[in-house]
């Protein structure tokens, strides 16, 4: 996978194993670093690999967020990758976002375009970003690898200026491969070279260096919603 990524022009990978999802064992920091070193050696260090994790929403993340030695930060920065269930939005998620931010960690929402509720009610992602979160879109959604609905949702989110990162979300070298170039080219057709490049270069570089995310477009909520009613989603679903 590292060689495939390098062949696509990728220079740095943030390894994001599943954490706190009730299925996979959440590794400790030493285990993560040891495995990264093994992969680097096996791949002749053709790319740089940094530690991170894809954190499934759970009550455990509150304790982790307050732990000075937490595993949930991306490359030890003040950012974390937060994953929702695919079929639902956790209750009181706006409170969760506030609590995570209050602990000094900024959540990056993983693949919101693949969440059924966000597909149906795209204002959700707009309100989460308004509260201080960022959004990361899967390359496979942009290239239609996950089907039509994630593709349409990704396009809508990106064209509305609500996406900040595009990631491979790679799992294997045969399927869900570590390739970004195709998705970046499609995104450039939608929103132009500068914005597309920021999602695969400038913004990720700022994140891993724990800097302010430089490209944060003003959201076009009218485009996102098709000028639907402005009632808050959080109010609507209570």
Whether 30 is in a domain gets the answer no
For residue 145, with 0-12 CB atoms within 10 Å meaning exposed, 13-18 middle and 19 or more buried, which class applies?
middle
What is the number of domains present in the chain? 1
Whether 103 is in a domain gets the answer yes
Q: Round to whole Å and give the CA distance between 25 and 15.
A: 15
Which CATH number goes with the domain that contains 92? 3.20.20.140
Tell me, what's the pLDDT at 237? Answer: 46
- Tens of pLDDT, residues 45-74: 888 899 999 999 887 787 888 887 788 899
The domain of 91 spans: 2-7+55-236
Report the candidate in 142, 191, 132 with the shortest Cα–Cα distance to residue 166: 142
Q: Name the one residue in this structure whose structure tokens are 């900040």.
A: 164
pTM value is 0.89
Q: Round to whole Å and give the CA distance between 67 and 73.
A: 11
Whether 24 is in a domain gets the answer no
Whether 23 is in a domain gets the answer no
Whether 155 is in a domain gets the answer yes
Whether 182 is in a domain gets the answer yes
Q: Round to whole Å and give the CA distance between 37 and 43.
A: 10
CB atoms within 10 A of CB 127: 17
- Tens of pLDDT, residues 160-201: 999 999 999 876 666 667 789 999 999 999 999 999 999 999
Average pLDDT of every residue of the chain? 88
Tell me, what's the pLDDT at 80? Answer: 96
């Amino acid at each position: 996978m590292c060689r495939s990524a390098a062949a696509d022009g990728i220079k740095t990978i943030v390894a994001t194993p599943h954490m706190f999802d009730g299925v996979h064992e959440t590794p400790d920091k030493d285990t993560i670093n040891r495995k990264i070193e093994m992969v680097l050696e096996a791949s002749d260090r053709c790319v740089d690999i940094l530690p991170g994790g894809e954190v499934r929403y759970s009550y455990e993340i509150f304790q982790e967020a307050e732990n000075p030695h937490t595993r949930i930060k991306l490359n030890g920065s003040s950012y974390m990758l937060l994953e929702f269930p695919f079929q639902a939005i956790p209750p009181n998620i706006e409170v969760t976002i506030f609590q995570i931010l209050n602990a000094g960690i900024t959540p990056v929402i993983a693949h919101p375009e693949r969440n059924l509720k966000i597909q149906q009610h795209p204002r959700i992602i707009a309100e989460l970003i308004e509260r201080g979160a960022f959004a990361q879109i899967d390359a496979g959604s942009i290239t239609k690898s996950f089907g039509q609905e994630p593709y349409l949702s990704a396009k809508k989110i990106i064209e509305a200026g609500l996406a900040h990162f595009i990631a491979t979300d790679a799992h294997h070298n045969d399927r869900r491969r570590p390739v970004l170039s195709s998705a970046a080219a499609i995104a450039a057709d939608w929103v132009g070279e500068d914005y597309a490049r920021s999602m695969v270069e400038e913004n990720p570089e700022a994140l891993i260096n724990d800097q302010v995310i430089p490209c944060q477009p003003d959201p076009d909520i009218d485009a996102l919603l098709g000028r639907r009613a402005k009632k808050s989603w959080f109010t609507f679903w209570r």
